[in-house]
Amino acid sequence: MTGIDTGFFFALREGDPRAIQIFQEARLAISVLTLFELRRIALRRGFEWEEFKEPLTRLGVIAEISPEVADRAAFASYSAGLPAVDALIIASLQVVGCDKIYSRDPHFAKYRSKDVEIILLNGPSAAV
């Protein structure tokens, strides 16, 4: 399964060919925290929520935050120097079985694991 982060939705919105291909071909998962970030950014920037609603209906899994996720995220945050929310997103996607995670967030690139490949898309990071 393929995990996608907040920045992926902006790459998709901007017509990034790689994001479009991934969106069309992969079984996708997001963290519940990505829903929070998307809604927050939409409210702050005045985007219509409908822009994100349709892509969200194509998701296979929405990864929740559990005690296991919290434990993994604490380790990831400490060992890689990740911000807490980024670590929680990565850990939640790993727990549901994602072996790839696409993001625009350069913090994600700090994380190293044999279980998941972090792939950064081109473009600006979506400021949360």
pLDDT in tens, 36-47: 999 999 999 998
Q: Which residue has the tokens 């997001």?
A: 30
Beta bridge partners of 8: none
What is the 3-state secondary structure of 45-102?
HCCCCHHHHHHHHCCCEEECCCHHHHHHHHHHHHHHCCCHHHHHHHHHHHHCCCCEEE
pTM: 0.90
pLDDT in tens, 69-110: 999 999 999 999 999 999 999 999 999 999 999 999 999 999
Q: Which domains does the chain have, with CATH numbers?
A: 2-120 (3.40.50.1010)
Band (pLDDT 50/70/90 cuts) for residue 55 is confident
Say whether pLDDT at 128 is over 80.
no
Average pLDDT in the chain: 92
Q: Which residue has the tokens 């925290």?
A: 33
Pairing relationship of beta strands 61-63 and 100-103 according to DSSP bridges: unpaired
What are the φ and ψ backbone dihedral angles of 77, each rounded to 5 degrees? -65, -45
